[in-house]
Amino acid sequence: MKLVLLSIMFLTMTVAATTAQVRPADIPRQIYGKVQVVDATTLEFRKGAQTVRLAGYEAPRLEQTATSDGVDWPVGQVSRAWMILRTLGQDVNCAPIARDANGVILAHCFVGETNLAATAIAEGIGYAFNYRGEPQVLAYFDIERKARGLGYGVWSSPDLLPPWLYAAPTANGDKARDSSLEPGGGLPLPLPVVPAKSSTPNDVHGG
C-alpha cells in the first residue's frame, strides 16, 4: 500500500496542471460542496442538484460479490461504502471535463488534495476504465497495475468479473475497454477553490 500511495504522490508532484482537456461550454468550470453518494462512481451535489461521475474510473456493481481466500464479501457494497466514508461531511471539489453518453458530467473530483478516483484504484476499490468516447486518464492504468500486482481489493478475487463484463456489454462493444491503452501522462490536480462571492452562473456550482 505504501508503495502505491507514494506513486500517487510522485505523479501528483510532477504534474504542473490538470490533464489537458477541452471543456465543453455547457458545463461549469468547477463544482464544489457537500455530496450524496449515488453509487461508487457517481456523486450528487446537495446544492444545485448537479450529478457528477468520476472520469477514468469504474467500480463493481452494487450487487456483485467477490471471494478472496475462500471468504465471500460484498465487493459492490464495499466500493460504495468506501466512497461514502471518503466524502461524508467533506467538501468535494470537482473539475468537470466532459459529458458521458447519457449527458452526465464527467469530472476529476477531490477531497482536499486527495484524488478520489486515483486513491480508490490504488486501494483496489475499483478499476481504471473509460467507456468508448470518454476522456482517458492514462496515469490511472499505471496505478491499477501496482494494485493488481499487490493483490489489493478487487484483485484479491481471481474470479471477480469487472463490471463492464458483469453488466453484459452490448454486441457493438460500447462498454469494452481499449486493451491497447498504455499508462502515461500525469494525474489530474484539483482546481483552487473559488470563493462563492466570485462565482458566476456558468462557472461554479456548489454548496
Summarize pLDDT for 118-140 with one digit per residue, the tens.
999 999 999 999 999 998 899 99
- Residues 75/154, Cβ–Cβ less than 8 Å: yes
Summarize pLDDT for 165-201 with one digit per residue, the tens.
886 444 555 544 444 344 556 788 788 877 666 545 4
Using the Cα atoms of residue 43, residue 171, residue 135 and residue 86 in order, give the sign of their dihedral.
positive
Q: Judge whether residue 12 has pLDDT over 50.
A: no
How many other C-beta atoms are found inside a 10 Å radius of the C-beta of residue 154? Answer: 26
Burial of 136 (0-12, 13-18, 19+ CB in 10 A): middle
User: Taking Cα atoms as reference points, which of 128, 122, 135, 118 lies closest to residue 58?
Assistant: 128
Which pLDDT value is given to residue 174? 52
- Quick one: cell of 3? 508503495
- Quick one: cell of 111? 477531497
| Side chain identity at residue 149, one-letter code | G
- Residues 154/60, Cβ–Cβ less than 8 Å: yes
Summarize pLDDT for 17-74 with one digit per residue, the tens.
344 445 667 789 999 999 999 999 999 999 888 999 999 999 999 999 999 999 999 9
Q: Judge whether residue 160 has pLDDT over 60.
A: yes
| 160, HSE (Cβ side, Cα atoms, 13 Å) | 32
Which pLDDT value is given to residue 87? 98
Q: Judge whether residue 110 has pLDDT over 70.
A: yes
Q: What is the reported pTM? A: 0.77
Residue whose grid cell is 468537470: 96
Helices (H) then strands (E): counts for the chain:
5, 12
Which whole number is the average pLDDT over 134-163? 95
Which pLDDT value is given to residue 49? 85
170 vs 162, residue with greater confidence: 162
Domains of the chain, with CATH numbers?
A: 2-196 (2.40.50.90)
Q: Judge whether residue 148 has pLDDT over 70.
A: yes
How many other C-beta atoms are found inside a 10 Å radius of the C-beta of residue 31? Answer: 27
Which whole number is the average pLDDT over 93-100? 96
Residue whose grid cell is 464544489: 32
Q: Judge whether residue 152 has pLDDT over 50.
A: yes
In whole angstroms, give the CA distance from residue 34 to residue 31: 10
Q: Three-state SS for 55?
A: coil
